[in-house]
């Protein structure tokens, strides 16, 4: 927390927000909330990474017994759950939080206290989920939790309870956040900031937010009915009573497929702002990139059963999903071409943010190719549940989402902290990441096709999979070391980095017209925007900076801090957690706290 306090002190203006732990606990400032999201998700990156290394050590040799089979199940379950829900999603939300108001010309999001609530719910949910380790009962039925493995009959014990409750808590955070950002983007754009003038990152935030509010309720219900089965004896997945475990798969993937677009679209948005900056050229085909993003979001709702080709849905259902999955490759491919066309003929520079952005374009394409291979149902019959799939999704999630997020870190770090990140360490970070990542996951295409199944603790020597696994393990350690470089770079640069100007990269969008870091009220007055690249047109830049560099005539009226969000977050988490008492009335105590917090919040003015 001292990191955060010092960052607050770096913000120097006369009417400053308070420093100290309490000011962070009660903050409703989107910039602080963004920083908290980033630090928390960055911490969980190393938790998930550690889990991955344990997996990789176990798989280094056939018939290894480095960890037990039960521990192994917990490792791959928590690795996946952590990386998806506690790293990739919240790290993207960190960027939404910090940047969207600055990019659209607003002083904060539409509902600042709701924003804080989303963060605290996330933190409590993540801590709760990981507290399962203290009880030796970490979730162990994989991040997809298929029924009826998750039933009381087949997995008694607390592991699945931790999973159900943890994810339910986290889901609330995401839905509220989605509502907040949709409202912010629709309603709080500065004068002249038409939707088709918004930076691409804000556009992708809008699409992702719609995906969040529509997909998360589906998994919420899936978790609820699974919870009813386990806690209250319902029959949703009880075959003997007429229940169908396949329904779980439908509901999970109806959420799960839009979820992967939730994971990737923010990264696409980031590099759509980064690549034009370092090509000194506007994004090629801006409207097409926007519409492609919307199409991906929409079509992404129609492909879910491509995760179920081996279930036996029948040829008609399978054919539909083959077609829809192949179709969704088109808007994705279009974006790739637009990024390349942006770079073509541009004045290219390759500082670290651009390295990661271009890296995404290359690596994600590889992942996209294996994805299109999966789209063919007959081909998928071999690939399903093999390491080929593990290769595919790591290429798109690590090579895609994570590298995009890293690009964003290097790109916007100067804006957030007022200091530049170290370029030398950055380049080392990039190249070791690229090498380590490819060494880890490329061999998995082969081990998968040669028969190595997912989620199994070990393999026999006669399968000849050892070499591929060893390559992956070595690569994983290189990748881990690379991530430590990032941690070092962040810390070192924050303390000793070269001071950054308002616009060190010569970028085009509104956030770069503000000082680094911005004052707590962002804009002294709202600028008027006339184009997509306001800072690339001299006249417009001067007009904008006349507004954004001015001192406000009087202190802007900002929303007041509040402790109700953290109290309500605690109440929400408590309500779910009390289900672990296996009584119907204990959760009501949690609801009572929720009610108190809701009333306290509702009757507290936002501005005091």
Does the annotation mark 431 as catalytic?
no
Which residue in 143, 203, 468, 576 is the catalytic one? 143
Q: What is the nearest approach in angstroms of other proteins to the Cβ of residue 607?
A: 6
**Of 232, 237, 176, 180, residue with least CA distance to 206:** 180
> Do 505 and 535 form a contact (C-beta atoms < 8 A)?
no
Does the annotation mark 257 as catalytic?
yes
Which residue in 257, 374, 429, 532 is the catalytic one? 257
Does the annotation mark 259 as catalytic?
yes
Which residue in 427, 454, 530, 541 is the catalytic one? 454
Does the annotation mark 511 as catalytic?
no
Nearer to other proteins, 210 or 488 (CB): 210
Nearer to other proteins, 56 or 107 (CB): 107
Which residue in 173, 352, 473, 483 is the catalytic one? 173
**Of 283, 282, 279, 284, residue with least CA distance to 347:** 279
Which residue in 30, 306, 374, 520 is the catalytic one? 306
**Of 466, 468, 461, residue with least CA distance to 442:** 468
Question: Rounded to an integer, what distance in angstroms lies between the CA atom of residue 110 and that of residue 177?
Answer: 11
Question: Rounded to an integer, what distance in angstroms lies between the CA atom of residue 230 and that of residue 328?
Answer: 37
Angle between helices 89-104 and 30-58 (to 10 degrees): 150
Does the annotation mark 174 as catalytic?
yes
Q: What is the nearest approach in angstroms of other proteins to the Cβ of residue 539?
A: 18
- The 3 state secondary structure assigned to 440-453 is HHHHHHHHHHCCCE
> Do 527 and 189 form a contact (C-beta atoms < 8 A)?
no
DSSP 8-state class, residue 198:
S
Does the annotation mark 272 as catalytic?
yes
**Inter-CA distances, 484 with 174, 429, 488, Å:** 28, 9, 6
DSSP letter for each residue of 314-378: -HHHHHHHHHHHHHHHHHHHHHHHHHHHHHTTS-----HHHHHHHHHHHHHHHHHHHHHHHHSHH
**Of 202, 289, 192, 299, residue with least CA distance to 540:** 192
Does the annotation mark 306 as catalytic?
yes
Six token digits for residue 338: 């637009």
Q: What is the nearest approach in angstroms of other proteins to the Cβ of residue 587?
A: 12
Which residue in 189, 281, 335, 392 is the catalytic one? 335
Residues 6+ apart with CB under 8 A from 144: 252, 256
Which residue in 17, 29, 238, 259 is the catalytic one? 259
Nearer to other proteins, 55 or 106 (CB): 106
Q: Please, what is the Cα angle at 385 between 381 and 391, to 5 degrees?
A: 105
Burial category of 591 from C-beta neighbours within 10 Å (exposed 0-12, middle 13-18, buried 19 and up): middle
Question: Rounded to an integer, what distance in angstroms lies between the CA atom of residue 440 and that of residue 220?
Answer: 33
Q: What is the nearest approach in angstroms of other proteins to the Cβ of residue 541?
A: 17
Nearer to other proteins, 424 or 605 (CB): 605
Nearer to other proteins, 176 or 263 (CB): 176
Which residue in 17, 29, 51, 108 is the catalytic one? 108
Q: What is the nearest approach in angstroms of other proteins to the Cβ of residue 209?
A: 9
Does the annotation mark 332 as catalytic?
yes
Q: What is the nearest approach in angstroms of other proteins to the Cβ of residue 39?
A: 27
Q: What is the nearest approach in angstroms of other proteins to the Cβ of residue 395?
A: 28
Does the annotation mark 108 as catalytic?
yes
* Coil/strand/helix, residue 540: helix
Does the annotation mark 143 as catalytic?
yes
Q: What is the nearest approach in angstroms of other proteins to the Cβ of residue 246?
A: 9
Nearer to other proteins, 254 or 343 (CB): 254
Nearer to other proteins, 232 or 431 (CB): 232
Q: Please, what is the Cα angle at 41 between 37 and 44, to 5 degrees?
A: 150
Nearer to other proteins, 136 or 217 (CB): 217
**Active-site residue set:** 79, 108, 143, 173-174, 257, 259, 261, 272, 306-307, 332, 335, 454
């Amino acid at each position: 927390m001292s990191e955060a306090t010092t960052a607050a002190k770096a913000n120097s203006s006369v009417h400053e927000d308070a420093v100290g732990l309490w000011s962070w606990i009660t903050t409703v400032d989107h910039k602080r909330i963004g920083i908290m999201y980033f630090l928390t998700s960055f911490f969980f990156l190393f938790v998930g990474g550690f889990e991955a290394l344990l997996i990789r050590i176990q798989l280094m040799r056939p018939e290894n017994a480095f960890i037990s089979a039960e521990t192994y199940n917990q490792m791959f379950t928590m690795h996946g759950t952590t990386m998806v829900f506690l790293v990739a999603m919240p790290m993207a939300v960190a960027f939404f939080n910090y940047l969207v108001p600055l990019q659209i010309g607003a002083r904060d999001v539409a509902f600042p206290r709701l924003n804080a609530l989303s963060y605290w719910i996330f933190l409590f949910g993540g801590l709760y989920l990981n507290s399962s380790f203290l009880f030796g009962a970490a979730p162990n039925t994989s991040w997809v939790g298929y029924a009826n493995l998750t039933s009381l009959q087949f997995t008694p014990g607390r592991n699945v309870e931790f999973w159900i409750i943890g994810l339910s808590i986290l889901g609330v955070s995401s839905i509220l956040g989605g509502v907040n950002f949709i409202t912010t983007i629709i309603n709080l754009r500065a004068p002249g900031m038409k939707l088709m003038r918004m930076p691409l990152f804000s556009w992708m935030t809008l699409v992702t937010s719609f995906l969040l509010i529509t997909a998360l309720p589906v998994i919420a219900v899936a978790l609820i009915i699974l919870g009813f089965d386990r806690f209250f004896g319902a029959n949703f997945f009880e075959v003997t009573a007429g229940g169908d475990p396949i329904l779980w798969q439908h509901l999970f993937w109806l959420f799960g497929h839009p979820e992967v677009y939730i994971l990737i679209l923010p990264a696409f948005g980031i590099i759509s702002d980064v690549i034009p900056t370092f090509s000194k050229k506007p994004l090629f085909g801006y409207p097409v990139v926007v519409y492609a993003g919307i199409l991906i979001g929409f079509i992404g709702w129609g492909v879910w059963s491509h995760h179920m080709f081996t279930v036996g849905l029948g040829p008609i259902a399978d054919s539909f999903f083959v077609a829809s999955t192949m179709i969704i490759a088109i808007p994705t491919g279009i974006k790739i071409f637009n990024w390349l066309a942006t770079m073509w003929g541009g004045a290219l520079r390759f500082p670290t943010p651009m390295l990661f952005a271009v890296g995404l374009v290359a690596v994600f394409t590889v992942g996209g190719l294996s994805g299109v291979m999966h789209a063919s149902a007959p081909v998928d019959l071999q690939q399903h549940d093999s390491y080929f799939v593990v290769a595919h999704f790591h290429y798109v999630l690590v090579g895609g989402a994570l590298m995009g997020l890293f690009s964003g870190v290097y790109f916007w770090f100067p804006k957030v902290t007022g200091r530049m990140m170290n370029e030398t360490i950055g380049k080392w970070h990039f190249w070791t990441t690229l090498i380590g990542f490819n060494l880890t996951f490329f061999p998995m295409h082969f081990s998968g096709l040669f028969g190595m199944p997912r989620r199994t603790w070990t393999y026999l020597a006669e399968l000849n999979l050892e070499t591929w696994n060893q390559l992956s393990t070595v690569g994983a350690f290189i990748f881990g070391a690379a991530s430590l470089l990032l941690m070092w770079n962040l810390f070192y640069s924050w303390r000793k980095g070269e001071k950054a100007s308002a616009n060190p990269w010569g970028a085009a969008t509104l956030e770069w017209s503000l000082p680094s870091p911005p004052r707590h009220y962002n804009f002294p007055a709202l600028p008027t925007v006339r184009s997509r690249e306001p800072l690339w047109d001299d006249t417009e830049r001067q007009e904008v900076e006349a507004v954004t560099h001015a001192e406000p005539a009087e202190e802007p009226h900002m929303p007041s801090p509040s402790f109700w969000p953290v109290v309500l977050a605690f109440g929400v988490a408590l309500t779910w957690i009390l289900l672990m008492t296996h009584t119907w009335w204990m959760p009501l105590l949690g609801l009572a706290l929720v009610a108190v917090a809701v009333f306290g919040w509702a009757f507290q003015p936002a501005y005091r």
